Structure 1
């Protein structure tokens, strides 16, 4: 039986996010026809960008004033109605903040089981996913007699190439939208630095940085090499940086080509968030720090001496 897969587009400020392309790559591993659903207020530019993703058959654009803000309670009924009417066998979303909020609600409304954090595909309904903070991998078999709702572990997949030319079609969805949930406002950190979850280079600091003021040395070095900036939970809890910078099991799961961490000991929760990184470079004063067990390159030393030396070397 051929699969018919619907990927939910993750977008922000009128731009398609890289996570959507990663979910498309996972969908290609499952096999079958792949469509993308864009739910927006005015999403033509987003849909046109999604149409460039390789392997996409169609992009369906649902423009609705109710979709101006990505409120899961508003989007989920539309996704369920569209997927059921379209006869989709799979509905996939990225495991970003957007997807983690949305996809469980989709599964609940559709009254089906959900598979979270797909990291490898063995068959249309058989997948690997991480458990125990990423320290073990389990293979799960989902029922094939019903629609499968799943989230894709973005760190495990590269984004689909933008070599496609899929058709974009306007669509309408007949779904009863809830009135008990409404958008009130958005508070978010803004930065000119690369996005932490998709950047090819990430520089992180931990408790060893010492203070919010001292974190400036990490920011400056990251800016020098064009890297995103992350942090350990200990640094976040200490108030050095905002929590949207947290990397780890309870923060962002990332897979940069280069990950450099300064003053991070390597708690298991942090290691769970960086295991898929290409090259891990760790700098810590403690030679027994657990981070060195995972690092490809380890340097025992004072970060306040090493960062200026690295800065000078790349000047």
Structure 2
């Protein structure tokens, strides 16, 4: 049977996390991988989802779906799921994805497993490995239902890019008006060239930066790397940086390919927000800083000397 993938898009582009979900579905499926996209988006952008592994894209080109009303999205995906005769739905774990997946579990009478980090083990039943306790541990979940919903954690799987362009098929579903009863009147978004939840690279600073007037060193490196900028909780608490840049257990949890921590000691609350990163680089003049124990690479040195040299080295490589 087919696997259906619910893909999200923003600013005219399909989100990287959704492309990862498509690649996950391709590795999982022995049949067709079909993706469903809701709302207004260019067909060429959708066709490129095929490079990640999709065989076909169902496009519900309805402007009413642009707002991301959860009930409407869940109904549209449920209809797509039944139309293609799928037995598994794959999507990216996200704020929208979590809410849509929960409703779909009821609509489809499906088992929902979130924070999935590996392909299911089907050698003896159907077991799924997932991340728990903010990434501190893993759980193995046994699924017995015929229909399954898998929400894949960001950066947990490799993104496939060698596929061919997919066929895009326009479809229309009869979505009852009461699914649009909720109205989103305004949306407040964090500002910045690269937003933390979407960033593949993050450069964060702590109190070791000594003051907000020195943050240009963090921003310069982030700009050269095409990275988002973050900070530790004490930095946002004292007003050096805005609260939406606070990375940690009580702030934004990130899972980039590369996390660079500058002048951050490595309190457990901060580590809980970054421990899903694929690679962690720590820069700190205190060789005993706890963060070094969690780092893949560490530089013991003064940030005010290291950062300019690192930024210049990145420029030279580019």
Moved more, 293-302 or 62-71: 293-302
Partner of 1:175: 175
Q: 1:30 to 1:123 in 2, by over 3 A?
A: farther
After TM superposition, the runs of 4+ consecutive aligned structure 1 residues lying more than 6 A away are none
Moved more, 136-145 or 211-220: 211-220
* In the alignment, structure 1 residue 37 sits paired with structure 2 residue 55: no
**In 2, Cα distance between the equivalents of 1:165 and 1:314?**
33
SS in 2 for 1:178: helix
Contact 1:251 1:273 (8 Å CA) reproduced? yes
Quote how far apart the aligned CAs of 1:197 are: 4.9
Deviations 1:218-274 (A, max 9, x none): 112222444332333443444433444344455233232x43211222233433444
Partner of 1:270: 270
Partner of 2:252: 251
* In the alignment, structure 1 residue 187 sits paired with structure 2 residue 185: no
Partner of 2:118: 120
**In 1, Cα distance between the equivalents of 2:265 and 2:157?**
27
> Scaled by the length of structure 1, what TM-score is found?
0.86
**In 2, Cα distance between the equivalents of 1:111 and 1:45?**
34
* In the alignment, structure 1 residue 299 sits paired with structure 2 residue 290: no
SS in 1 for 2:256: coil
Partner of 1:11: 9
Matches within 5 A, 1:138-157: 138-145=139-146, 147-157=147-157
Q: 1:279 to 1:6 in 2, by over 3 A?
A: same
Q: 1:227 to 1:41 in 2, by over 3 A?
A: closer
**In 2, Cα distance between the equivalents of 1:267 and 1:29?**
37
Partner of 1:165: 165
Matches within 5 A, 1:195-214: 196-197=196-197, 199-214=199-214
**In 1, Cα distance between the equivalents of 2:34 and 2:98?**
20
**In 1, Cα distance between the equivalents of 2:99 and 2:207?**
29
Quote how far apart the aligned CAs of 1:65 are: 2.0
> Scaled by the length of structure 2, what TM-score is found?
0.85
Quote how far apart the aligned CAs of 1:31 are: 2.0
Q: 1:49 to 1:244 in 2, by over 3 A?
A: farther
* In the alignment, structure 1 residue 135 sits paired with structure 2 residue 136: yes
**In 1, Cα distance between the equivalents of 2:240 and 2:98?**
26
Question: Alignment partner for residue 21 of structure 2, among 20, 23, 28?
Answer: 23
Moved more, 7-16 or 223-232: 223-232
Q: CA RMSD in A?
A: 2.6
**In 2, Cα distance between the equivalents of 1:13 and 1:313?**
32
Q: 1:64 to 1:187 in 2, by over 3 A?
A: same
Q: 1:15 to 1:266 in 2, by over 3 A?
A: same
**In 1, Cα distance between the equivalents of 2:22 and 2:204?**
29
Q: 1:54 to 1:210 in 2, by over 3 A?
A: same
Quote how far apart the aligned CAs of 1:312 are: 5.2
Unpaired runs of 5+ residues, structure 2, are none
Q: 1:161 to 1:225 in 2, by over 3 A?
A: closer
